[in-house]
Each structure stands twice: as C-alpha cells, then as structure tokens.
Amino acid sequence: METDIPFARPFMGREEEEAALRVLRSGWLTTGKEALAFEKEFAGFLASPRRPPLTALAVNSATSGLHLALEACGIGPGDVVLVPSYTFTATAEVVRYLGADIAFVDTAPGSFHIDPAALERTLERLEQGLPAYPPRTGTGVGFGPLGKPRAVIPVHYGGLPCNMDAIMAAARRYGIRVIEDAAHAFPSRLSSGEWAGTIGDAGVFSFYATKTLSTGEGGMVVTRDGELSRRIAVMRSHGIDRPGWNRYTDGKASWHYEVTAPGFKYNLPDILAAIGRVQLTRALALLKRREEIAARYDAAFPDDKRLRLPPSGPGDARHLYPLRLRPETSGPGRDLFIRALQDRGIGVSVHFIPLHIMPYYKERYDLETEDFPESMRNFEQVVSLPIWPGMKDAQVDRVIETVNAVLGEPGY
Ligand SMILES: Cc1ncc(COP(=O)(O)O)c(C=O)c1O
C-alpha cells in the first residue's frame, strides 16, 4: 500500500544538484552568466519563426515579473487594470503596488478562464466614464472602480491557454495592454501552435516550488517589445543602468553605475537559474508524464451527475487537475469530499478562492459574493488532485481508487 501522496512535489534530479553545486563552487552566487544563459535558452524554447524575436528576463518570482511588466507599461494612479476574479492574489496585488485600481471580471460559464464577453462589457463601462459594474438594483450608476482602462491580465489557469484571440481583439478595440499571467502555463500551446505567454505585450511565468518548471522561487518575463524589456531590465535591479554582472565583465570601471529610477530588487540568483536551465531541458518530458497522469484520471473518473472532468485541450500544460463536484445534483459537497480524501492520505488543494470574497478586495471595491457567480460556482465545486511528474503509477492508481471509493459512498 502506498503511503500518503502529497498534493505536489517538484521533480529534482542529479543534474539539478550538480548545476547548483557548480554555481556554489564558482564564486559567483548572484545573477550572472547562468541567469543570462537561462534567459537565452528560455527565449529560444518559446521562439516562433512567424514572430519577431522574444526577450526573456529572469526575475525572482512571477509576482515581481507581473509588477515589472505593469510598471513598464506605465500603469499608475487613475488607471484600471482588468483581472479575473478567479485567480491567485498575485495577479491583482501588483496593480495596487502601482496605485492603480482593479476591475475584476467573472469567468466564462463552464470554464476557469476570464470571460471575454464580460471583459468587453467592463471595458465599455470604464471607457464611458462609468464605474466598472452595472447597478445591482437597476437604479444608479453602478459600483466598483472608476478610471481609465489600461491593461488586462488574463490567467492561463491550470496550464490551459485562454481564448487569446478574443482577449487580444477586445484589447485592441479599447487600446489596452495585455500582460499574460502564464504562471501555470509552461509549456502551453494555443490552437494556433504558439506558446501561451508569447501573444500579449508581455507574458510572465512562475518557477515557484509547485510549478511545472521549478527553481524553488523564481520567474521569467517574456516580451517582444524593446521598450518594455529595457525598462524591466533596469527596474528589476534598483533602476541601475548597469547590472552587477555587466559591471564586472564589460571592461569598464566596475564600481561605476547610475541610478535612473527608484527600482526594485527582483533579480534571479545564478544558483536558481542553473537549476532552471536543467529543468528547461526536462520540460517536455515532464509535460508528457503529466499528460499520462491526466489521461489515466480522465479514463477512470465518471463525468456524470456527481463530477465534471477538467476542461482540457491539446496544448494544456496540465499543471493542475481540477475536478468539479456537483453538489447541486448529488453528494455532500466539496468540503466533505476534500476531508474524505485527506483522511485517506491524498493531498488535494483548491484553485482558487475567488478574490472578490477576500476581505481586502471585497472592502476596497464594495463587492458582494454574488457579483461574480461563475467564479463562485467554480470555487464551490473545485478540488485539485495531485498531478506531479514523479508520481508512480501505483500512486496514480491509489488516487483513482480513493476518489472512486469516496464517490461510491452513500449520499453521492
Ligand atoms: C495564477 C498565478 N499567478 C501568479 C502567481 C505568483 O507566482 P510566484 O509565486 O512565482 O510569484 C501564482 C502563484 O501561485 C499563480 O497561481
């Protein structure tokens, strides 16, 4: 019998250990040649012969990458950035770092992604100088933030790419920037064959411990826009015009630099970059294993009045496996289902608790639970199962048997 199965576990091999050791022994621990090589290799992985070249900028988290991308777009007080209500707080908090406001957008019915139709409606209201949401009672001017719409941050939830055609069309119509939150989406392909994260003005990937490519903490911003990449490069290291590595390698006085803006300290150290380079070489093999696990789950679970299988498609990175219980038609509900799995040693999670019910956002924008009904429906039904590439077949089987056993209990 397999022992407890964690919800997530990074895949780290001998090569990652050796890469970290190589850097530890090199005498250069912070951002340097490993980070530069990682950026080049990452950009190479995502390159498209049909599009201009891509610049990749390594950062210490996706959160800092999102912050830098918005800052480089010039977002500030008086601006509004559109963010799905169904995401992690990092997607939204960065907007507040810059003093801009957030207009949440509900998920499309049946999906985990931002609803392009709701996005257009919110853009239209803001463009007309109205608060982001229509009145709840049919009278008044509505509620929510006011300001100029400047950007949208679609989230490729779970590694399944968003409908980027519809989002880009809306963004063009209203002249706003698109920053893709691709924290879950390495590597995810759109139906056009292009990679998620490479379609908007910038895309941001996460290398957090549970992500598909992991360096413990870390992230990467990619962009084809030279102005954005130049600004991000400077702002990720204190607004200094010459990053540390260049100061010691470009042959000029190593002590001299100029501060051109009040920047941040968001660079990725070489120890982590070296691990990331190895992980990058494994990305497609790890994806294949996640696809195998998802296929086993898809084949083993019922898609009936009790459960809905996760929406998916050919380019899905399969970062998450989000089952949805159907408490309205059957069963004691998601919370008891989670408890039953945890009691039997299966690690699970919930992606996500919608942001509009989080105290900070709820209070700031005067939001009510019912304002984003599709996000709430997802939240009340969803449970993410373990889907990490190191899982053995016996562990996958154990998850399957346990889920099916719980579903077979009286009441479901
Ligand atoms: C959708 C989404 N965006 C952004 C982030 C932030 O990533 P990081 O932890 O690398 O800052 C996360 C983290 O889990 C996430 O789930």
pLDDT of residue 266: 98
> Ligand 1 pocket, 88 CB below 6 A?
yes
Reading the block at residue 156, the tokens are 């490729």
Top pLDDT among 305 and 404 is at 404
pLDDT of residue 191: 94
Cα separation, 77 vs 74, whole angstroms? 10
> Helix crossing, 89-97 with 62-72: angle to 10°?
40
> Ligand 1 pocket, 61 CB below 6 A?
yes
Among 205-214, 248-257, 333-342, the minimum mean pLDDT is found in 248-257
Pick the CATH number of 14-281 from 3.40.640.10, 3.20.20.70, 3.30.70.141, 3.20.20.10: 3.40.640.10
Cα separation, 179 vs 68, whole angstroms? 11
Q: Which of 70, 181, 206, 212 to mutate to test the pocket of ligand 1 (most atoms within 8 A of CB)?
A: 206
Query: Radius of gyration over alpha carbons of the chain, in Å?
Result: 22
Same fold, 14-281 and 284-407: no
Chain segment 332-370, per-residue pLDDT in tens = 788 999 999 999 999 999 999 999 999 999 999 999 999
Please provide the DSSP assignment of 195-264 as one string: BTTSSSSEEEEE-BTTSSS--BS-EEEEES-HHHHHHHHHHTBTTBSS-HHHHHHSSS-TT---B-S---
Ligand 1 atom with the shortest distance to the CA of 211: 14
pLDDT of residue 305: 87
Compute the distance from residue 63 Cα to the ligand 1 centre, in Å. Answer: 6
pLDDT of residue 330: 61
Among 2-16, 60-74, 112-126, the minimum mean pLDDT is found in 2-16
Percent of the chain's residues with pLDDT above 70: 98
> Ligand 1 pocket, 214 CB below 6 A?
no
Chain segment 309-323, per-residue pLDDT in tens = 999 999 999 999 999
Answer yes or no: is pLDDT of 1 > 60.
no
Among 70-79, 126-135, 261-270, 298-307, the minimum mean pLDDT is found in 298-307
> Ligand 1 pocket, 87 CB below 6 A?
yes
> Ligand 1 pocket, 219 CB below 6 A?
yes
Answer yes or no: is pLDDT of 120 > 70.
yes
pLDDT category of residue 142 using cuts at 50, 70 and 90: very high
Chain segment 37-75, per-residue pLDDT in tens = 999 999 999 999 999 999 999 999 999 999 999 999 999
Compute the distance from residue 89 Cα to the ligand 1 centre, in Å. Answer: 8
Cα separation, 95 vs 76, whole angstroms? 8
Q: Where are the domains of the chain?
A: 14-281, 284-407
Domain 284-407 fold is Aspartate Aminotransferase, domain 1 (3.90.1150)
- Catalytic residue numbers read 211
Phi, psi of 150 (to 5 degrees): -125, -25
> Atom 9, ligand 1: which residue's CA is nearest?
208
Q: Which of 81, 85, 88 to mutate to test the pocket of ligand 1 (most atoms within 8 A of CB)?
A: 88
Cα separation, 68 vs 272, whole angstroms? 20
Compute the distance from residue 62 Cα to the ligand 1 centre, in Å. Answer: 6
Compute the distance from residue 142 Cα to the ligand 1 centre, in Å. Answer: 31
Compute the distance from residue 83 Cα to the ligand 1 centre, in Å. Answer: 14
pLDDT category of residue 326 using cuts at 50, 70 and 90: confident
> Ligand 1 pocket, 384 CB below 6 A?
no
> Ligand 1 pocket, 91 CB below 6 A?
yes
Q: Please, which residues have CB within 8 angstroms of residue 319's CB and are 6 or more apart in sequence?
A: 158, 159, 184, 185, 211, 212, 290, 387
> Atom 7, ligand 1: which residue's CA is nearest?
62
pLDDT of residue 138: 82
Average pLDDT, the chain: 95
pTM above 0.95, yes or no: yes
> Ligand 1 pocket, 63 CB below 6 A?
yes
Span 169-189, average pLDDT: 98
